[in-house]
Structure formats: structure tokens, C-alpha cells
Amino acid sequence: MPFARWDRRITPYLFVAPFFALFAVFGLYPLLRTAWMSLHRWDLLDGPVAFTGLANYAELFTDPHFYNALANTASIFLAATVPQLLAALGIAALLDRPLRGRTAWQAVVLLPNVVPVVAVALVFTQLLGRDQGLVAWVLASLGASPLDWQAHAWSAHLGVALMVIWRWTGYNALLYLAAMQSVPRELHEAAALDGASRARAFRSVTLPGIRPTLVFTAVVSTIGGLQLFAEPTLFGGASAGGNDRQFQTLVMYLYENGFERFDAGYAATISWVLFALCAVLAFANTALVRRFVGRG
């Protein structure tokens, strides 16, 4: 039966082929093309000007604006991700118990995530407005002086982090919840029989049980954090991220170079460094979570 054998051997590949075809067109090709561009002085309008080898990379690694953007990205990432994942764990733990109207609660928790990022950013920017914002009004009624959120690094980072937390906490909570519900009940029962407190059971049963999901959310948050763009751009109204670049993220710097200064080669260089960073941090994350949570 040569056809059946051929069929069995080839058909699975045909089934997965669409993904790889799409990946080649929208993933691999841009990746390679960007790498090629990063080796040139490449004008967005005029195309390649000169082959410069690794000169763009050399310039980037001595560029203070790059390190500034990197530090801002890291700071906003920490301010956004740590509280976000902790809150998500807490919300998931609250939802993971008999609750009236559970589906409704789950839907509510996910709601912020379905609001488009542009809308979220515009609303938060207005809420945090210096002259007319709701937060300014609350601060004033408490006797505090109005805060120009964009003017200082700490307040700008906090403002951007708030938007990220608002959008993604519920999403992560639902992921955790799904994982928690797949932890075998017998383990919890056994822990209860052994006299473990609720906190102890959470630490020794739940957390190890949802380890793959913890890794997943940590990796996804890291990649999302590194690619942060829309929120801070809309918050400051420009890709420079404040008068002293105090909240310019890496992707904003990429955008500034590529689309405001038309330096596509340099922008491509930044995007490749960003790609490498994402990869490294994803691996580091996996390793870290493994160590802290231990084997299940």
C-alpha cells in the first residue's frame, strides 16, 4: 500500500504547512530582511545607501539614548509586571472557590483586556491630566498639589505601568484560574488531611501545580514589557517619551529612528537587539521560575 504509506507520512506535514507558510512570510522573511537592513545605512525612503557591516551595532552599544530607553523599559516593566502578576494570583485564588455568579466574575475580570489599547491610553492620560484630570482633582481635594505626571520619570513610569496593570491583570488571573482548576483535588484534600494551612497548601500545592502557567505568564509579560509602545507613546503624545526622554521605551526609540528620522538601518538594528533580548530573557525567566517554584 504505497499510497497509504505516503499519505501517512506526508499528510501531517500538509496539515501543519499553513502555519509554517504564514510564519515564513510574516515571521521569517521580515526577520531576515530586518537583519539585512541592520547591516546597512538604510534610508526609509531611498533604500540602502551603503553596506556598513556591524557599524550600526557598534553605534547602538555606545548610544546613551539606547541605554536610557533600556533602563526605562526595565523600570516600567518591573513596576507593571510584579504587582500585576501578584494581583492576578490573588484574584485567581479568590475566584477559585465556590462563588455565586462565577462566570460573570470571570467575564468582568477579562473586560479591561478587550478594550483597545488606544482607548485605555487615552482615558488614562485624561484621568492623569495635570490641569483637568480626575486624579488631579482627587489629589487637590486631599490638599496635595497637582502633579505633572509626564514631567518626572517616576510618575511617568507609574502612569504607564498603571495602564499595563489595568489591561493585563485580569487576563493573567484567568490563566492562573484555569491552571488552578486543573490541579488535582486529591492533592488539596491530602494537604488538608495533613493539617496544612490554606497558605501552606497554596504555596506547596497550588503554586507548583500551576508552574507551567507561571512560566508562560512571566515569559509573555517580559516580551510584552520589552515591546511596550502604544501606552507610553500616547501618554506623552510623542515617541521621545517626555522632555528628557524620561519614559522613552526601546520600541519608541526604534520608532523615532525609523519613522521620524527615516533611519531604517538603525531602527532595524534596534529591533534585532530587542529580539535577542526577548530570547535571552525568556530563557532566563523559565530558569528562574523553575528554581523558585521547584518541581511539582
Applying CB under 8 A, the residues found at the interface with other proteins are: 43-46, 118, 122, 125-126, 129-132, 148, 151, 234, 237-240, 242-244, 255, 259-262, 264
Beta-bridged to residue 50, according to DSSP, are: 41
CA–CA gap between residue 271 and residue 213 (Å, rounded): 27
Nearer to other proteins, 85 or 121 (CB): 121
Q: Which is nearer to other proteins, 57 or 105 (CB)?
A: 57
The number of residues in the chain equals 296
The three-class DSSP label of residue 43 is strand
Task: Name the residue with cell 499528510.
Answer: 11
Q: Which is nearer to other proteins, 225 or 236 (CB)?
A: 236
Quote the CA–CA distance of 199 and 171 in Å, as a whole number: 23
Query: Minimum distance from CB of 31 to other proteins (Å)?
Result: 18
**CB 251, min distance to other proteins, A:** 11
- Gap between the Cα atoms of 9 and 1, Å rounded: 13
Residue type, 265: G
Q: Which is nearer to other proteins, 131 or 186 (CB)?
A: 131
Cα 19 to Cα 50: distance, rounded to the nearest angstrom: 35
Q: How far is the CB of 49 from other proteins (least distance, A)?
A: 11
Rounded to the nearest whole angstrom, what is the least distance from the CB of residue 296 to other proteins in the complex? 42
Cβ-Cβ contacts under 8 Å for 94 (sequence gap 6 or more) = none
Please, which residue, 33 or 290, has the CB nearer to other proteins?
A: 33
Cell 490573588 belongs to residue: 90
Residue placing its CB nearer to other proteins in the complex, 149 or 168: 149
Q: Is 259 helix (H, G, I), strand (E, B) or coil?
A: helix
Shortest distance, position 75 Cβ to other proteins, whole Å: 18
- In the complex, the smallest distance separating the C-beta of residue 217 from other proteins, rounded to whole angstroms, is 27
Complex with other proteins: residue 44 or 293, whichever CB lies closer: 44
Give whichever of 238 and 278 is closer to other proteins, judged by the CB atom.
238
CB 209 within 8 A of CB 35: no
CA distance 258 to 266: 7
Question: From CA 8, how far away is CA 96, in angstroms rounded?
Answer: 43
Which CA distances in Å does 162 have to 78, 120, 157, 176, 228?
Answer: 12, 10, 9, 21, 13
Query: Least separation, in Å, of the C-beta of 115 and other proteins?
Result: 14
Q: How far is the CB of 229 from other proteins (least distance, A)?
A: 8
What secondary structure letter does DSSP report for 98? -
